[in-house]
Amino acid sequence: MKMCQALGSQGHDVVLVAPDFDEQYETNINTDYDFYKVEQNFKIMKLKVPKMKGRIFLYALQTLFFMIKNKSDLVYSRFILSSYLAVLIGKNVVFESHSSIYSDNKLTQNIFKRLIKNKYFLKLVVISEKLKEVYLHHNISNDKIYVAHDGADEVKNKELKIPLQGTNELNIGYIGHLYEGKGMEVIEGIASKLSHCSFHIVGGTPKDIAYWSQKITVPNVYFYGFVTQDKVQKYINSMDICLLPNQKVVHTHGSLKQNISEYTSPLKMFEYMASKKAIIASDLPVLREVLNENNSLLVQCDDYEKWIEAVLKLTDRSLREKIATEAHKDFKESFTWKQRAKNILKVI
């Protein structure tokens, strides 16, 4: 949604094609644009797919029929089946990858091999240098790969805040999923030793929240559950420090199929930067592609004493403001969704 908005802002006619699997999602949503807080500068086409075995292949066929009927200069996709069908009918294709295709099943790998050999395949966009290295290792030509980290929108009003639970002097935020590897174990390990701080956990499924609520019993940790996009920004605005405690093993949406820790590009990192917040992050090579000692505090992901030291350092407001200002500067120069779209369009 964010990339379609960014591409639309560059004056292009953009249609987002997505499956409608006839399942119940979030309620009380007026439109998809409202839910994601994006401009209506692109169209959304939802293709109805019945609940049946193999429906992903049926959806791929429906995208094929859609592409045959509708003229387009470019197909930009993260769905490998539709990408391959697009080149077969002579559509120029850019495929964006957020994880290694070589960790997927053999069918997906074979389709990918055929895709990149097709003359209508223009570019493979990956979200980190580390992920690019994976593809280079499999002999994908360097000139066919482009690195585009994820991004965020610029924050129009950083003063819009939300009332937080607790009355401690320092508010520390974690925004995102709570499944294994995302870093809740760090908060579990440090919260009891930082009683003067409040830890605010925004996000997570009811099951994950129940699990961590039982494990973390100290009174200075608060769970807020899933909140809508507009409220997420208000929560971030309300924090003094934001945490990015990724571990060395992170599975996609709780799946055990592949570890994305080595090449992830966390959306929350850019949202923290856009919000001009002081960040404490795990010192992982992939995060260092964006973060450094000037725009954040970086510590070993499993060294809880270092995490505590980092929080104590940032009780100094002037230091918080210094690294937050540097992070915001880096964000504006390189990591807005609009800049990402411009960069990708330029190379293709």
Q: Which domains does the chain have, with CATH numbers?
A: 2-153+336-347 (3.40.50.2000), 170-334 (3.40.50.2000)
pLDDT tens digits, the chain, 348 residues: what are they? 999 999 999 999 999 999 998 666 556 667 889 888 899 999 999 999 988 888 999 999 999 999 999 989 999 999 999 999 999 999 999 999 999 999 889 999 999 999 999 999 999 999 999 999 999 999 999 999 999 999 999 998 888 899 999 888 899 999 998 988 889 999 999 999 999 999 999 999 999 999 999 999 999 999 999 998 889 999 999 999 999 999 988 766 545 566 777 888 899 999 999 999 999 999 999 999 999 999 999 999 999 999 999 999 999 999 999 999 999 999 999 999 999 999 999 999
Q: How far, in Å, CA of 242 to CA of 267, rounded? A: 13
pTM of this structure: 0.90
Asked whether 275 and 207 are in contact (CB, 8 A), the reply is no
Q: What is the DSSP letter of 102?
A: G
User: How much is the CA Rg of the chain, to the nearest whole Å?
Assistant: 21
Q: How many residues comprise the chain?
A: 348
Characterize 229-248 residue by residue with b for buried, 16 or more Cβ atoms within 10 angstroms of its Cβ, and e for exposed.
Answer: eeebbbbbbbbbbbbbbbbe
Identity of residue 345: L
Query: Quick one: pLDDT at residue 329?
Result: 98
Token pair of 149, please? 């980290």
Q: Are 200 and 231 in contact (CB under 8 A)?
A: no
Q: Which two tokens stand for residue 330?
A: 């880096």
Tell me if residue 35 falls in helix, strand or coil: helix
Give the list of residues 6+ apart from residue 328 with CB closer than 8 angstroms, or none.
273, 274, 276
Which residue stretches of the chain are H helix?
2-9, 32-36, 55-69, 80-88, 106-117, 129-137, 184-190, 206-215, 229-237, 267-274, 304-313, 317-334, 337-347
Question: CA-CA distances (angstroms) from residue 30 to 14, 26, 260?
Answer: 21, 10, 33
Q: How many helices (H) and strands (E) does the chain have?
A: 13, 12
Q: Which of 319, 322, 298, 168 is closest to 245 using CA atoms?
A: 298
Q: How far apart, in Å, are the Cα atoms of 224 and each of 27, 40, 289?
A: 18, 29, 31
Per the CB < 8 A criterion, the answer to whether 74 and 14 are in contact is no
